[in-house]
Amino acid sequence: MRLLHCIYTCTFLLAIFFFLSIARADEAKLVIVDNDFTGPPDTLSDLRSALMFLDNSNVKVIGFTVVTGDGWRNEEVAHLFRLEEIASRSDVPVIPGAVTPLVNTIQDTHEWEKQYGHITYKGAWDSKEERTGEPDYSPHEADFVPPIPEGLPNIHPAQELAADFMIRQVHAHPHEISIFAGGPLTDIALAVRTDPEFASLVKELVFMGAARPANRPDFNVRFDPEAARIVLGAHWPSITSVGDVTYQIVLEQIDVDAISAAHTPVGDFVVKYSGSDVSKAHLWDELCAAVLIDPTLVREADDEYIDVVVDHQKDYGAIRLNCHSALIEGQAKVRIVHKIDVNRFKSEFVDSMVGLSKIAPAK
C-alpha cells in the first residue's frame, strides 16, 4: 500500500508540474510598443504593425508609446487612438513620448543638405514639395492635430511620458518585458539615460533600423543619430535589428484581396486606408513586429557590434557594422536578421489584419 501511495503521490506531483509548465509556456509575452504611429493619408505600416500586437494572443501589450518620426507625436497619438477604437481595443494605454530628437533639428538637417545633398525622406520635417507623390500630404507645426481621414478619436493620452512609463513598467516586471521600437529611438534613449538599470532589466529589444538601402540613409537612425548611438551602446540582454530584410518583402495584391475578403472592421480599415500601400509596398514595421512576436520566423541572422556616426559631417547618422570590439564595456552585440520564412510571415500578417491570429507560432 505504501508503494502504491507513493506512486499515486509522484504521479499527482508530476501532473501538477506538467500543467504548471504548460501554463508558463502559454503566458503571453509582455510588450511595450514604441513607434512613430503615422496613418492616413501617409503610410499605414506603423498602424498595421500595431494590429499585429493587438490581435495576437501570444503577446500582451502593456502600452503604446509614441515618438515623433514619420509624423509629429500628437497627430500620431490621434491615429493610434482611432485605430484602437476601430479594433475595440481602447483598453491599451497610449503614452506620448518625445516630440523632437535629442540633438538633431530640422535647421541642422537643412544645413547638412546644403553641403552634402538632399535627404529624400525626413518624416515630420518633409515639406509639401518633398511629397509630390502624395497630394493629400499637409505639413504642420508639432502641436497641431489636423482632421484625419479616419476621424478624430474620443479618447485622450495618459499624462505620463513614455520614458518614465517604460522605466516604471520594467522595474515592475524585471526581465519580463520585450520592447518593440519601430521608429526613431529617442524615447528608449531617454529611458536608458534616465535609469542606468533600465536596459539590463528589459528582456529584449527588437528594433526596426540599421538598414543600408542604396542611396538612402536609414530613417529611424538618421532622424535621431545620438539616440540610436545611446541605445546601441546600452547593456541589453538581447537586441535584434530588423533592417535590410524589410526591403525584400512587399505587400502584394493577393494579400490585400485576402484581407478584403474577410469583411471585418479592422480589415476594411486596412484596405481602405492603405492608400499607396495597396500593393508592392514594403512591410517594414509589420515584419519587425512579427520577428518579436514569433522569433521562429528568422531563418538567417548574425551578430555584430553596431556604431552610429554622430559627428555632424558627411556621414552623420550613418551606421557602422562589423565593428570588432564593443564601444563601451558591456555593450551587447546586435542580432541582425537577414532572412525570414516569408510564407509563414505573410500568413500571420494577413491573419492579424483581419483578426484571426490566435494560433500559437510554430515551435
C-alpha to C-alpha distance for 346 and 344, rounded to whole angstroms: 5
> Which residue(s) pair with 339 in the sheet?
300
pLDDT at 42 exceeding the cut of 80: no
Q: Kindly state the DSSP code that residue 361 receives in the 8-state scheme.
A: P
Residue 71's Cβ-count burial label (10 Å; 0-12, 13-18, 19+) is buried
Residues 326, 357 contacting (CB under 8 angstroms) = no
Assigned domain for 359 exists = no
Assigned domain for 361 exists = no
For the segment 204-228, what is each residue's pLDDT rounded down to a tens digit?
999 999 876 555 678 999 999 999 9
Task: Give the pLDDT band (50/70/90) at residue 11.
Answer: very low
CATH number, domain containing residue 29:
3.90.245.10
How do strand 204-207 and strand 239-241 relate by DSSP bridges? parallel
pLDDT of residue 23: 37
- Return the closest-CA partner of residue 38 out of 185, 148, 113: 148
Identity of residue 29: K
pLDDT at 296 exceeding the cut of 50: yes
Indicate the SS3 state at residue 9: helix
pLDDT of residue 10: 43
Assigned domain for 38 exists = yes
For the segment 50-61, what is each residue's pLDDT rounded down to a tens digit?
999 998 999 999
Give the Cα-Cα-Cα angle 15, 358, 57 (nearest 5 degrees).
Answer: 70
Domain count, the chain: 1
For the segment 167-188, what is each residue's pLDDT rounded down to a tens digit?
999 999 999 999 999 999 999 9
Identity of residue 245: V
pLDDT of residue 359: 36
Assigned domain for 360 exists = no
Assigned domain for 35 exists = yes
Assigned domain for 307 exists = yes
> Which residue(s) pair with 305 in the sheet?
323
Q: What is the dihedral of CA 98, 209, 216, 306, to 10 degrees?
A: 110
Domain coverage including residue 301: 2-354
The mean pLDDT value of the chain amounts to: 87
pTM score of the predicted model: 0.89
Answer left, alpha or beta for residue 245, where phi above 0 means left and psi between -120 and 50 means alpha: alpha
> In b/e form, how buried is each residue of 169-187, taking b as 16+ CB within 10 angstroms?
bbeeeeeebbbbbbbbbbb
Assigned domain for 162 exists = yes
pLDDT of residue 282: 83
Q: What is the DSSP string of 63-75?
A: EEEE-SSSS-HHH
pLDDT at 12 exceeding the cut of 90: no
Residues 212, 87 contacting (CB under 8 angstroms) = no
Assigned domain for 175 exists = yes
Residues 46, 117 contacting (CB under 8 angstroms) = no
